Amino acid sequence: MQKNVSRCQVLSQEKIAPGIFSLWLQAEEIARTAVPGQFVSVYCPDPSRLLPRPISLCETDAAGGKIRLVYRVTGENTGTQLLSELRPGDALRVLGPVGNGFPLEKAQGKKVILIGGGIGIPPMLETAKRLESPIAVLGYRSLPFLKEEFEKQAEVHIAAEDGCEGTKGTVLDAIREQNVTGDMIFACGPTPMLRAVAAYAAENGLPCWVSLEERMACSVGACLACVCRAKTEDPHFGTRTRRVCKDGPVFSTGEIDFVFGSSTAESTKSSSDNGKPKYRTSFQEEVEL
Ligand SMILES: Cc1cc2nc3c(=O)[nH]c(=O)nc-3n(C[C@H](O)[C@H](O)[C@H](O)COP(=O)(O)OP(=O)(O)OC[C@H]3O[C@@H](n4cnc5c(N)ncnc54)[C@H](O)[C@@H]3O)c2cc1C
Ligand code: FES
């Protein structure tokens, strides 16, 4: 498996909401080749943390050779906390771009509903920039982030669990209350949200693609740490699984078996309570490959 690791320079780092950071990196090759919905895997500045952290591309600037990551610090003494301490001029090793991205070619001439939940919102920004008149439905635990940037690219509908803005409740509550309609759905967010979105799409006959999140180790398809359940056999492995890092992270909901749930992570791509990720399960220790 080929690993495209670049040494990138930090251009800026900004806290945009409690626990949420926006990081711009100079990353010529990634910016030139990446498509919306792909991600990068970022090595921590502390080399004793061996595994890279998968983070979606929030924006890419091909002309300027820059990429933007928007990420949540998941807790004290984590890799993401170390990332948040980086300053302009610091160097960072980044693997990527990784994965497939959203099927923009299927969206031509269609009204696409982009649904983002929690830390699944960032990748929908670059996706919105590449679509014609998209609709964005953004779900937060509380105060919104990236909202103004989405408003420049899309018709925006907000859901907040605490009711501080938009519809009080989930993204699906917002879709129903604010009468959002469209031809197809692209979504990214915590697994329970994606499962509900998939059911909504099926009920309404809407084609739907979701970006899954699974715990990852190698990020290049070698270790099988990130497999999710699929409805059909994988032609290579002969099992009803897909590797989220290599075959995804974006899948048609017709391909994924949401009945069993995605296998390892009820994702942390969600808002947090008192800094504790809502959907986080206990997780294996970081392991060396
Ligand atoms: C395809 C994909 C895209 C993602 N995009 C974003 C994003 O745009 N913004 C964002 O804030 N978060 C994103 N995440 C989640 C992010 O990868 C985790 O929050 C992060 O890896 C946690 O690392 P840590 O150092 O804070 O935690 P630690 O607890 O120190 O991590 C320990 C190990 O577990 C892995 N791990 C822990 N949680 C996750 C997780 N949820 N998913 C995968 N690996 C995990 C870490 O990579 C690391 O190897 C994405 C995850 C995936 C799979
Ligand atoms: S993380 Fe190793 S195969 Fe996906």
- Predicted TM-score (pTM) of the model is 0.90
Indicate whether 151 and 213 sit together in one domain. Answer: yes
Indicate whether 54 and 173 sit together in one domain. Answer: no
Distance 62 CA to ligand 2 centre (A): 27
Distance 8 CA to ligand 1 centre (A): 19
Distance 175 CA to ligand 1 centre (A): 28
Ligand 1 binding residues, C-beta < 6 A: 39, 51, 53-56, 71-72, 74, 78-80, 119, 122, 213-216, 249, 265, 267-269, 283, 286
| Cis before 249 (ω within 30) | yes
- The pLDDT of residue 260 is 52
Closest approach atom of ligand 1 to CA 58: 8
Indicate whether 279 and 198 sit together in one domain. Answer: yes
Indicate whether 146 and 31 sit together in one domain. Answer: no
Of 59, 82, 98, which residue is a domain's last?
98
- The pLDDT of residue 268 is 35
Q: Distances from the Cα of 48 to the Cαs of 87, 159, 285, in angstroms? A: 20, 39, 13
Q: Distances from the Cα of 237 to the Cαs of 116, 213, 234, 265, in angstroms? A: 31, 21, 6, 21
Closest ligand relative to 1 C-alpha: 2
Ligand 2 within 6 A of CB of 51: no
Beta strands in the chain, from DSSP E residues, in sequence order: 5-17, 20-26, 39-42, 53-56, 59-61, 66-72, 91-98, 112-117, 135-140, 155-160, 167-168, 184-188, 208-211, 227-229, 241-243, 250-252, 272-273, 276-277
Distance 77 CA to ligand 1 centre (A): 14
Indicate whether 227 and 277 sit together in one domain. Answer: yes
Of 47, 81, 98, which residue is a domain's last?
98
Closest approach atom of ligand 1 to CA 267: 41
Number of structural domains found in the chain: 2
Ligand 2 within 6 A of CB of 243: yes
- Across the strands, what pairs with 120? none
In whole angstroms, give the CA distance from residue 240 to residue 43: 31
Distance 108 CA to ligand 1 centre (A): 32
Q: 145-182 burial string, b = 16+ CB within 10 Å, else e? A: bbbebbeebbbbbbbbbeeeebbebbbbbbbeeeebeb
Domain extent at residue 94:
5-98
Distance 155 CA to ligand 1 centre (A): 29
Indicate whether 174 and 36 sit together in one domain. Answer: no
Distance 254 CA to ligand 1 centre (A): 25
Tell me whether residue 280 is exposed, middle or buried, using C-beta atoms within 10 angstroms of its C-beta: 0 to 12, 13 to 18, 19 or more.
middle
CATH no. for residue 49? 2.40.30.10
3-state class (DSSP) for residue 129? helix
Of 58, 76, 98, which residue is a domain's last?
98
Q: Which amino acid residue places its CA nearest to atom 37 of ligand 1?
A: 215
Closest approach atom of ligand 2 to CA 216: 1
CATH no. for residue 258? 3.40.50.80
Closest approach atom of ligand 2 to CA 218: 2
- The pLDDT of residue 236 is 82
Ligand 2 within 6 A of CB of 35: no
The tens place of each residue's pLDDT in the chain, 289 residues long, gives: 567 899 999 999 999 999 999 999 999 999 999 999 999 999 998 888 889 999 999 999 999 999 999 999 999 999 999 999 999 999 999 999 999 999 999 999 999 999 999 999 999 999 999 999 999 999 999 999 999 999 999 999 999 999 999 999 999 999 999 999 999 999 999 999 999 999 999 999 999 999 999 999 999 999 999 999 999 998 888 899 999 999 999 999 999 997 654 444 433 333 333 333 332 222 222 322 2
- Please choose from 98, 268, 279 the residue to mutate so as to test ligand 1's pocket, defined by most ligand atoms within 8 A of CB: 268
Distance 145 CA to ligand 1 centre (A): 19
